[in-house]
Structure 1
Amino acid sequence: MLLTIAHETRYSFSEGVAHGLQRLRLRPKSTHGQEVVEWATHLEGAQREAEYDDQHHNRVELVSITPGTCEVVVTCRGTVRTADSSGVVGEHTGHIPLWCFLRATPLTRAGPGVRALVASLDLDQSDPLACLHRLSHAVREAIDYVSGVTDTETSAEQALATGRGVCQDHAHVFISAGRLLDIPTRYVGGYLKIEGQVRQEAGHGWAEAYVKGLGWVGFDVSNGISPDERYIRVASGCDYSEAAPVTGITLGGGKGELSVHLLVDEGGVSQQQQQQRGPGGSPQ
């Protein structure tokens, strides 16, 4: 499948920014199941300082905000060719060992809720793949998909206690439970082509677990499936904070507002995308 992405992130400030540095994890890489045909990142109110691969093998662009600017716009446009690998990504790569994906993080540390969920399933770990699919179903049943209840700092325990959340929360609970079972697990951020829908509010998140003999295998808990050709992997980490599309610091700027415009389409640039372009070809 050929997927086209148009992703705009706009930061508006009430005052000029004195200083700012941002890490962008927005550029996908050619890997198992996907080939980046073309990709470009355009910056307004900021400039690129460096590019590097982080410890998770994510492509990172370090950008500085132009002093005095009141608006920063990051626009990504690209095309990625994907294939259905039944969620299997393959063997481990990157600069950190597998055991790092067994350690707890602030967002995935298991508490009474996650421990009770795992205990209630009485899982047979002799078949890890079946075990993980059952766990995915249980997490989806435990947390209703409701937006606006949680945020990027909500932990797995908090989401489970609330019983409501979004894809990030589903993934964190799955990751937390997987680590209790001594299975390396990680968070993945990227894009999903939703049937009959081009415009989206944000990117998508899911989890991957390491299964001996297969390598990393994806589990989209929110949709109850393993990722197929509709998915584009962009970044991964021990939790969302290590795979977040934009992180960094800003000094000054007063009150800030964030808006995101995302189009995910199949094939070439769609008519709707053409209509959303501004005079310079950037999405509005």
Structure 2
Amino acid sequence: MRINVKHETTYRYDAGPRRVMQLLRLTPEDFEGQNVVDWSIDLNCDAKLRQKRDPHGNITHMLTVDHAPEELVITASGIVECDDSAGLVRGVRETLSPLTYLQVSELTQPNAAIAEFAADAIASKTSPLDKAHALLAAVYGHMKFETGTTNVTTSAAEAFANGNGVCQDLSHLFCAAARSQDIPARYVSGHLFRRDGENNQEASHAWAEAWVQDLGWVAFDPAHGISADDHYVRIAVGMDYRQAAPMVGTRMGGGMETMAVTATTSGRALRQSQNQTMGDMSQSQQ
């Protein structure tokens, strides 16, 4: 798929802040099955952007705006070509051992109920890949996708107990369940070109990756019950949402603040010859 992405964040303040500082995780990178054709970050005012890598290998930008306007608009947009690699994630810059992602965080702490749920899900499975797929099916089957019931501070345990949430919550639960069974897993943020046409959203998408012995990282989307394919644009990874969030920061002054986000995607299929060539390269998989 050739996917067009536009992610726009608008901050409105009572008065223009003296300074705004944000860490942005908005930029995708090239790897097997994902080719960034064009990408940019634009603002509606003068600003400084400094690019670097975070500990997880994500491309980040430190944004600094002095004397920001009362309305600050940050727009990340571009074109990404994606191939269906059956969920396999290869060729990304790995800075940490997969074992790092056995650690738990506040949002992905598995309690006894999650550990029992995960153990039951994989009880009849022997291969690492089958276990990961069993966890995907279990989370997808247990959770009802429902907006307005959780927020960015909701933990996997809370969402599991309630039985509902959004893509962030299902991804947190998948990571918690996998780690409880000694399967390294990490949270992924990015964009999804949806087959149902609902491509004007109020947030970006989230899914997870599990480390499968002899295969490497494999991407699973528990919100849809599938492995990620050529409709997914991968942006950032982390232990949970907080380490892969599109942006986080602080400001000086400005009074009260509101924030609005729109994430829009559109796409079209690549030519058959391109799909075949890229497929051959990748297989050998709020």
Task: Give the TM-score normalised by the residue count of structure 1.
Answer: 0.89
Could you tell which deviates more after superposition, 50-59 or 88-97?
A: 88-97
Contact 1:46 1:72 in 2 (8 A): no
Shift in alpha-carbon separation, 1:92–1:34, aligned structure 2, 3 A: closer
Structure-2 separation of matches of 1:260 and 1:85: 30
Shift in alpha-carbon separation, 1:185–1:122, aligned structure 2, 3 A: closer
Query: Equivalent residue for 1:240?
Result: 241
Displacement of 1:122 in angstroms is 5.1
Shift in alpha-carbon separation, 1:92–1:39, aligned structure 2, 3 A: closer
Displacement of 1:254 in angstroms is 1.6
Query: Equivalent residue for 2:280?
Result: none
Displacement of 1:49 in angstroms is 3.7
Query: Equivalent residue for 2:267?
Result: 266
Contact 1:92 1:98 in 2 (8 A): no
Q: Give identity over the alignment, percent.
A: 37
Displacement of 1:208 in angstroms is 0.3
Query: Equivalent residue for 1:34?
Result: 34
Could you tell which deviates more after superposition, 32-41 or 126-135?
A: 126-135
Contact 1:191 1:203 in 2 (8 A): yes
Gaps of at least 5 residues in structure 1 are 269-284
- The answer to whether 1:209 aligns with 2:204 is no
Gaps of at least 5 residues in structure 2 are 270-286
SS in 1 for 2:104: coil
Contact 2:186 2:210 in 1 (8 A): yes
Displacement of 1:68 in angstroms is 4.9
Query: Equivalent residue for 2:279?
Result: none
Query: Equivalent residue for 2:72?
Result: 72
1:160-179 paired onto structure 2 within 5 Å: 160-179=160-179
Shift in alpha-carbon separation, 1:77–1:140, aligned structure 2, 3 A: same
Structure-2 separation of matches of 1:92 and 1:252: 39
Query: Equivalent residue for 1:48?
Result: 48
Task: Give the letter aligned to residue 145 of structure 1.
Answer: F
Displacement of 1:209 in angstroms is 0.3
Deviations 1:59-83 (A, max 9, x none): 1010013225322111122000110
Shift in alpha-carbon separation, 1:146–1:99, aligned structure 2, 3 A: same
Task: Give the TM-score normalised by the residue count of structure 2.
Answer: 0.89
Query: Equivalent residue for 1:97?
Result: 97
SS in 2 for 1:216: strand
Shift in alpha-carbon separation, 1:77–1:91, aligned structure 2, 3 A: closer
Displacement of 1:233 in angstroms is 0.3
SS in 1 for 2:75: strand
Task: Give the letter aligned to residue 179 of structure 1.
Answer: R
